[in-house]
């Protein structure tokens, strides 16, 4: 099973990692009703797409149900049935997944998530090279910087402004994210070979960490170039170059 669902199932088999995964399943009427009743808010995503394309969010309020695609208009419905009927019109062609929405920590009114960049070094070992916060664009349900119209800021700023974490709590969170990222990469080796992995993590309003997505084909370094401080960007590029050189010289292999 390829795509987002396949990777979710793969990671669910690791009990440690599973604790960080939001419930996810194939979208159909039953699964939509069930996740909405349980969590009041869900994300719906095309199984195979990337970069925020086609992402939808549905949630219930006291009076009605609401639905948004990427950063379009909010549509309202009277019941779950009419909400699902509207979603079905948009999702009938491909396989979609439905996932519990995480109440992401916010900066003012905008949610953010965290990108952790892991790349292989000249010894072919996974190395942590940097992380940042991606803040959603105005009234967007996604934090993808390009499609969502958002922006990138240093992780410490985000943790401080949104959750008022102390320096010590920030260090703890950053360390937890790095440890978890190593675990994710280590496990990924069994899925396939990749030389760079960008992991999207969410932090909810109770400070709990969630895994939103593991990007492994071409996770963007350019995101790090959007920070004023270029230290991480330079580090990523330099380690990447030593990896490519070692590969070219036959010192390591893609295996």
Q: Which residue's CB is nearer to Mg ion, number 147 or number 234?
A: 147
Interface with ligand ADP, residue 45, by CB under 6 A: yes
CB-based contact 53:147 (threshold 8 Å): yes
Q: What's 169-206 look like in SS3?
A: HHHHHHHHHHHHHHHHHHHHCCCCCCCEEEEEEEEECC
Q: Give, as ranges, the residues between 111 and 150 that touch Mg ion (CB under 5 A).
A: none
CB-based contact 192:254 (threshold 8 Å): no
Q: Give, as ranges, the residues between 181 and 210 that touch Mg ion (CB under 5 A).
A: 200
Interface with ligand ADP, residue 219, by CB under 6 A: no
Q: Which does 97 bind (CB under 5 to 8 A by kind): ligand ADP, Mg ion, none?
A: none
Strands, E, within 121-208: which ranges?
A: 126-135, 151-154, 196-203
**Rounded Cα–Cα distance for residues 180 and 199 (Å):** 10
What are the residues whose beta carbons fall under 8 Å from the beta carbon of 108, sequence distance 6 or more? none
Q: How far is the CB of 36 from Mg ion (least distance, A)?
A: 22
Please choose, out of 30-38, 80-88, 142-150, 237-245, the segment that lies near ligand ADP by the rule CB under 6 A: 142-150
Interface with ligand ADP, residue 200, by CB under 6 A: yes
Q: Give, as ranges, the residues between 82 and 141 that touch ligand ADP (CB under 6 A).
A: 99-102, 104, 113
C-beta nearest to Mg ion: residue: 213
**Rounded Cα–Cα distance for residues 105 and 218 (Å):** 27
Interface with ligand ADP, residue 188, by CB under 6 A: no
Q: Which residue's CB is nearer to Mg ion, number 43 or number 65?
A: 43
DSSP 144: -
């Amino acid at each position: 099973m390829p795509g987002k669902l396949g990777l979710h199932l793969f990671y669910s088999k690791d009990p440690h990692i599973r604790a960080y995964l939001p419930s996810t399943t194939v979208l159909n009427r039953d699964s939509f009703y069930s996740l909405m009743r349980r969590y009041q808010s869900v994300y719906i995503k095309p199984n195979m797409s990337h970069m925020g394309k086609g992402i939808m969010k549905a949630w219930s309020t006291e009076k009605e149900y609401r639905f948004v695609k990427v950063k379009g208009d909010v549509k309202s419905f009277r019941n779950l049935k009419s909400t699902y009927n509207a979603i079905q019109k948009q999702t009938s062609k491909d396989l979609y997944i439905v996932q519990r929405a995480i109440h992401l920590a916010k900066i003012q009114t905008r949610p953010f998530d965290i990108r952790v960049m892991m790349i292989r070094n000249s010894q072919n070992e996974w190395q942590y090279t940097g992380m940042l916060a991606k803040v959603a664009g105005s009234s967007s349900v996604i934090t993808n910087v390009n499609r969502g119209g958002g922006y990138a800021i240093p992780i410490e700023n985000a943790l401080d402004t949104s959750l008022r974490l102390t320096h010590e709590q920030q260090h703890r969170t950053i360390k937890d994210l790095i440890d978890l990222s190593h675990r994710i990469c280590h496990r990924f080796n069994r899925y396939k070979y990749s030389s760079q992995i960008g992991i999207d993590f969410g932090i909810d309003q109770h400070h709990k960490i969630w895994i939103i997505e593991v990007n492994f084909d071409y996770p963007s370094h350019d995101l790090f170039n959007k920070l004023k401080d270029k230290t991480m960007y330079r580090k990523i590029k330099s380690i990447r170059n030593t990896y490519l050189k070692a590969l070219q010289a036959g010192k390591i292999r893609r295996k």
